[in-house]
Amino acid sequence: MSVSLARGIFDAFFASIKSLTKRRYTLRYPEQKLDLPDGYTYDPKTQVGSPGVKGRHILYLDKCTGCSLCAIACEGIADCIDMVKVDGTWPKDKKAIMPQIDYGRCVFCGFCVDACPFDCLFMTPEYELASTDKRKLVQTPFQLGTLPEKKGLVEFIPDEKSGAHHA
Amino acid sequence: MSESNSVEKRILESLKSKFGESILEDGWEGALAPKRIKTFASREKIVEVAQAIKELGFDQVISQGGTDYPKDDIFKVNYHLIAVDNEELKPIILSLATKLPRNDPKMSTLTNVWRSAEFHEQETFENFGIFFEGHPRMERLLLPEDWDDIPPLRKEFTLPGR
Amino acid sequence: MVSSGSAISVFAGKVNDLLGTIVEQSVKEPIRYIVNWGRLYALWPVHLETACCSVEFGAASGPRFDLERFGMLEAFGSLRQCDLLVVQGTVTRKMAPRLQWVYEQMPEPKWVIAMGACAISGGLYIDSYNVIQGIDKIIPTDVFIPGCPPRPETLIQGIIELQNKIRRSRVRS
Amino acid sequence: MEVVERQGDYLTMSVGPQHPGSGHMRLIVTVDGDIIVKVKPDPGYVHRGAEKMCEVRTYIQNIPHLERPVIIDSCGILFAYVLAAEELIGVQPPPRAQYIRIIMAELNRIISHMYWLSIYGIFMGHSTMFMWPMGDRELFIDLAASIGGTRVTFSYFIPGGVRNDIPPGFKEKALKTFDYFVKRLKEYEKIYFNNPLVLKRTQGVGVFKREDAISLGVTGPNLRASGVASDTRKDEPYSMYDTIDFDIPTYREGDSYSRAWVRLEEMRESMKIIRQAIDKMEAGPVKQPMRGQIKGKVGEAFARTEAARGTMFYHIVSDGGKFPYRVKISVPSFRNLIAMSHLLEGNRLADMPVIYWGLDYWPVEADR
C-alpha cells in the first residue's frame, strides 16, 4: 500500500515537473493574435456556406437592395437588424435603406447571411467589439461596410515534445 | 427490420389483450411505427396501464410533458418510456398518452410506478397547471417564486411583443 | 484699520486658495494616478455565474488566455473583498434580486461588466417571460462585451477597456 | 444510502447561487454536524422559457436558442431536435452530412468532458488538473471552430444537413491533435486518475447502486458508471452510428471515481469514432436544398440522441404550420437532478463538491 502510494505521488510529481521543460502555452493576446480563417460566406445558389469565422458582419453597400430579408430572418432570432435610411444615391437600392446591426443583441449565428440572396452580407473574423458605451455597439451601414485589417499572426500548434504552443 | 417490428407488435398485442382496443384509441395517428409504440389510456385507468407497461420491462421515464389543445378543450399528457436494462426493448420508445379536460386538469401521479417521473410531473404542474394527485412534492420547481400569471405553456399565455 | 485688515485677510485668503489649488493640483494628480494604478491591476471578480457565458469566462481563466496577466484573479469565496462583478450571461427574474444583493454587498469602488448579448440586452431571449432585458436596468454597468458567448479575446479586450476607464476615473477624497 | 436519524441540532443552509462550488443553482442542505441529512435542490435560476419560445419561431429560427442551454455541447443538444424536425418536415440529409454531424457531435462530447474534467480538478483543489484540460480543450475548440465558425455555439446542424462543408486540411489537423491528445491522456492518468490523493477523495464516495440508478432515471455516463450499458448510439443507432465500430465503457462501482473514468474512456472512444467517420466520408453534397417556407406535416415526432451528459430527447408536435405547435425538450441534466439529493444524503459536507460535479450537472441545461 505505502509503496503504491509513494509511486503514485512520485508519478504525479514527475509528470508535472516534466512540463517545466515545455514551451509556453499562453497566447499573449493584445500583442499576439490568432490567425483566423476568413469570415463565413454563403452561396444562395447551392444553399451551402463556406467554413469561416462568424464575427462582425461586412455589408457591400453597392450590392445591397434594401430587401430587408436579413431583418426578417433575424426577427425571430435576436431581432438585432434594423433597416435604416442611408445618405446618398444607390442605383440598386431605390429606397436607400440598409441594415444596421446592434451587436448588443447579435448572437453571431449567421442566419442573416444565409437569408441574403444578393451576396452582399457576409461575416468577417473581427471580434474586438467590447465598448464602455452601449450605443457604440450599434453599427451603422457605413461602419459595417469597412473590411477589418487582418491582424492575425500566430497559430496553435499541438506538439507533444515541446508542448502545445502558439507560433 | 421485420424482427424488431415483431417485438413492438408483440408488446402492443399483449397490452391489447389486457385492456382491449381502448389502448389504441388516440385521435391523432397510428399506434405502431418502427421503434415507436403509441398507446393511450383514460385517466381513470392510467395507473393500471402504467403498471402493466412497467411489468413488460420499460423502466425509465425519459420525458413527460403536456400539450395544450384549446380547440378540443383538452390537455394531452405524454409519458415517454424507455428500457435501459432490457436488451430486446432498448431500441423502443413507448409513448403513453392521456387526455384531461381543460376545466378539470387532474390525474393521479405515476411516481409510484416510475420514480423518475417525479420532477417531470412537477414541471408539467407549473407549466400547465395540471395537478397530479398523490405526488410527494406538488410545488413549483423552475419558475420564479413570485410567479402570479397563468401557467406559461398554456396557449392563452402569450409572449410579450408577439 | 478695519478696511486694511480686511484687505490683508482677503489677500491672505487668496494666497491660501492659490496655494491650496497648487498643492491640490500637484498632489491630487499623482495620488489619483497611484490609487488608480493600484486598482487597475488588482481586479478581483465575484464568482457569480448567471448563465452559460461562464464557460468562456472559465476558458479565459485557463492557460491559453490567462486573465491573471491582467491582474484578474479567478474565483473567490467572499464578496466583501471583490471589486468587479462580471455578469456572465442571462439574468432571469429569479436571479435578478440575487444579483442586486451581490452588487449591494460589494465594497466601493466597484465595477460591472456585462458579458454576452443576454446580459447587455436580453439577446436571444428578447421575448422570454422570465428574462431581464439587459442588466443596466437593475445595476449600473461599465463595460459591454458583445458576443454569444464572447470570445475570450473579446473579454480580455473588454477588461482592457475597463482598465482604461479606471485609469481616467476620479478618486473621491 | 441510509440515513440514521439522530437526535441533535440540525442546521439548514443554502449553498448557492453565489458560491464557488454550486454554479447557478441552489441546494438547500440540512446538516447534522457535517453529515448531510437532507438536500432539496432549488433549480430555475436560468429558466429562460425555451419551450414557449419555440412556439413562436420557425423550425430554422429555433436553432440558435435551442443550443444555448448547453453551449459546451451545442451540437449534442441540437442533434435530437434536428432528427425530430427532419421527420416532420420530410427531408433526409445526405450521407456526407451525417458523417460531418457525427464528427461535430463527438468533438462536442470531448469539449464538454474536458470542461467537466477541469472543473472537477479545481473542485478538489487540484489546480494542475484545471489548467491542463482547460488548455487542451482549446485544441478541440479550434477543430470545431474551423468547421462551425464560432468557438462554442455553432448553429451548425439544420434540418436537411449541415450548413457548410468541412474546411480543407481538417483531416491532417484533426489527426495531429488526436496523436497529441492520446499521449496527454496518459499524463492525465498519472497526475490525476492514479493519484493516491484523488483516489482517497473519490473512491467509494457517492455510490449509486445499479437498481437505484435505473429507478431514479439516471442517464448517460452516470448510468454507465453503475454498470448499465445503456447508450443511445448503440441502442437505437441514429445517423450513421451503425456503420461505426466503438465500445461503450462501463464500470460496476458506481462511485465518483468510476464516473470520472467513464468520461475519460469516452473521450478515447470519441476520437476513435471521429477517425472512422473521416475515413468513411465520401465526397458529395452536405445539404439537401429546400425552397420556400419550411413547414412540418401534421403529427408528432420524437427522437433521442446521446449527448455528452446522457440521452437527449425531443418531442415535437406540429399542426402543419411554419411554427412547431409544441416542443418538449427532455434534457439529461434535469433527469440527473433527482439523483442529486439521493446521492448527497448521508455523505459528509466536504464530499459535496465531488459528488455534485461528479454527476456533471449543468444547471443551464436543466433549467432550459
Mean pLDDT of chain D, nearest integer: 84
Chain C segment 3-22 residues within 8 A of A by beta carbon are: none
Instruction: Say which residue, D209 or C25, is predicted with more confidence.
Output: D209
Please write the tens of the pLDDT for every residue from B6-17.
777 787 777 777
Nearest to B84 among D223, D325, D328 (CB): D223
Q: Provide the phi-psi class of B105: left if phi over 0, else alpha when psi is between -120 and 50, else beta.
A: beta
A82 contact C CB<8A: no
In chain A, the domains with their CATH numbers are 36-151 (3.30.70.3270)
D115's CB contacts (< 8 A; 6+ apart) are C55, C58, D72, D133, D134, D137
Q: Using the beta-carbon criterion (under 8 Å), do D23 and C49 form an inter-chain contact?
A: yes
Where does the pLDDT of residue B1 fall: very low under 50, low under 70, confident under 90, or very high at 90 and above? very low
DSSP annotation of D7 reads -
Interatomic CA distance for residues D95 and D284, integer angstroms: 8
Cell 453597392 found at? A62
Residue B138 has pLDDT above 50, yes or no: yes
Q: CB burial class (10 A; 0-12, 13-18, 19+) of residue A46?
A: exposed
* Residues of chain B in Cβ contact (below 8 Å) with chain C: 143-146, 149, 152, 157, 159-162
Bond before B34 cis per omega within 30 degrees: no
Bond before D285 cis per omega within 30 degrees: no
Helix (H) or strand (E) holding A40: none
For chain B, what are the domain ranges? 3-133
Where does the pLDDT of residue D3 fall: very low under 50, low under 70, confident under 90, or very high at 90 and above? very low
The 3-state DSSP composition of chain C as helix, strand, coil percent (nearest 5) reads: 55, 10, 40
**CATH fold group of domain B3-133:** Beta Polymerase; domain 2 (3.30.460)
Interatomic CA distance for residues A159 and B155, integer angstroms: 56
D53's CB contacts (< 8 A; 6+ apart) are B159, C125, C127, C128, D62, D65
- What pLDDT is stored for residue A87 in this prediction? 81
C62 contact D CB<8A: yes
A109 contact D CB<8A: yes
Q: What angle do CA C48, D141, D148 make, to 5 degrees?
A: 110
Query: In chain D, what residues touch C60 (CB-CB under 8 Å)?
Result: none
Nearest to D52 among B28, B120, B152 (CB): B152
- What pLDDT is stored for residue D2 in this prediction? 39
Architecture of domain D50-367: Orthogonal Bundle (1.10)
Preferred mutation among A74, A134, A138, A153 to probe C, highest tally of C CBs within 10 A: A134
A126 contact D CB<8A: no
Query: In chain C, what residues touch A137 (CB-CB under 8 Å)?
Result: 120, 144, 146
Q: Using the beta-carbon criterion (under 8 Å), do D214 and B127 form an inter-chain contact?
A: no
Please write the tens of the pLDDT for every residue from D239-283.
888 888 888 888 888 888 888 888 888 888 888 898 888 888 888
Interatomic CA distance for residues B46 and C115, integer angstroms: 48
Q: Using the beta-carbon criterion (under 8 Å), do C153 and A34 form an inter-chain contact?
A: yes
Q: Using the beta-carbon criterion (under 8 Å), do A132 and C165 form an inter-chain contact?
A: yes
**Rounded to the nearest 5°, which phi and psi values hold at B27?**
-80, 5
Where does the pLDDT of residue B24 fall: very low under 50, low under 70, confident under 90, or very high at 90 and above? low
Residue C102 has pLDDT above 50, yes or no: yes
Query: In chain A, what residues touch D176 (CB-CB under 8 Å)?
Result: 158
- Residue D158: HSE in the Cβ half-sphere, 13 Å Cα cutoff: 27
Distance from CA of D117 to the nearest CA of B (A): 26
- What pLDDT is stored for residue D69 in this prediction? 85
Where does the pLDDT of residue C75 fall: very low under 50, low under 70, confident under 90, or very high at 90 and above? low
Q: Using the beta-carbon criterion (under 8 Å), do C130 and B160 form an inter-chain contact?
A: no
Cell 486573465 found at? C67
Mean pLDDT within D81-109: 88
Query: In chain D, what residues touch C155 (CB-CB under 8 Å)?
Result: none
ipTM of this predicted structure: 0.86
Bridge partners, A135 (sequence order): none
Interatomic CA distance for residues D302 and B63, integer angstroms: 10
C116 contact A CB<8A: no
**Rounded to the nearest 5°, which phi and psi values hold at D296?**
-95, 150
- What pLDDT is stored for residue B85 in this prediction? 82
Where does the pLDDT of residue C3 fall: very low under 50, low under 70, confident under 90, or very high at 90 and above? low
Distance from CA of B62 to the nearest CA of D (A): 7
Q: Which residue stretches of chain A have pLDDT < 70?
A: 1, 151-152
Preferred mutation among A43, A56, A74, A77 to probe D, highest tally of D CBs within 10 A: A77
Residue B28 has pLDDT above 60, yes or no: no
Q: Which three cell numbers stand for residue D252?
A: 460496476
For chain D, what are the domain ranges? 50-367
Of A102-111, D16-25, D220-229, D359-368, the one with minimum mean pLDDT is D16-25
- What pLDDT is stored for residue B94 in this prediction? 86
Please write the tens of the pLDDT for every residue from D110-162.
999 998 888 888 888 888 888 888 888 888 888 888 888 888 888 888 888 88
Q: What percent of chain C has pLDDT over 90?
A: 0
Interatomic CA distance for residues D14 and C51, integer angstroms: 19
Strand order in the sheet with C143-145: C84-88, C111-115, C143-145
SS3 D258: helix
* Residues of chain D in Cβ contact (below 8 Å) with chain B: 43-44, 47, 49, 51-53, 56, 214-217, 219, 223, 228, 230, 235-236, 299-300, 302, 304, 311, 313, 315, 317, 325-326, 328, 330, 334-335, 337-338, 367-368
- What pLDDT is stored for residue D37 in this prediction? 84
Interatomic CA distance for residues C122 and D51, integer angstroms: 17
- pTM, whole model, 2 decimals? 0.88
Nearest to A33 by CA among A122, A126, A124: A126
* CB contacts < 8 A (C, D): 104
Mean pLDDT within D49-73: 86
Preferred mutation among A27, A43, A47 to probe D, highest tally of D CBs within 10 A: A47
Q: Which three cell numbers stand for residue C7?
A: 484687505
- What pLDDT is stored for residue C19 in this prediction? 82
Provide the terminal-to-terminal Cα distance of chain A, rounded to the nearest Å: 45
Q: Using the beta-carbon criterion (under 8 Å), do C144 and A105 form an inter-chain contact?
A: no
Q: With beta carbons less than 8 A apart as the criterion, state whether A77 and D61 touch.
A: yes
Query: In chain A, what residues touch D199 (CB-CB under 8 Å)?
Result: 8
* Torsion, Cα of A61, A67, A71, A72 (10° steps): -160
Q: Using the beta-carbon criterion (under 8 Å), do D68 and C124 form an inter-chain contact?
A: yes
Nearest to B91 by CA among C69, D78, D311, D47: D311
For chain B, which chains pass the contact test of at least 3 CB pairs under 8 Å? C, D
D194 contact A CB<8A: yes
Q: Using the beta-carbon criterion (under 8 Å), do A158 and D147 form an inter-chain contact?
A: no
- What pLDDT is stored for residue D19 in this prediction? 65
Q: Using the beta-carbon criterion (under 8 Å), do A111 and D64 form an inter-chain contact?
A: yes
Where does the pLDDT of residue B113 fall: very low under 50, low under 70, confident under 90, or very high at 90 and above? confident
Q: With beta carbons less than 8 A apart as the criterion, state whether A118 and A56 touch.
A: no
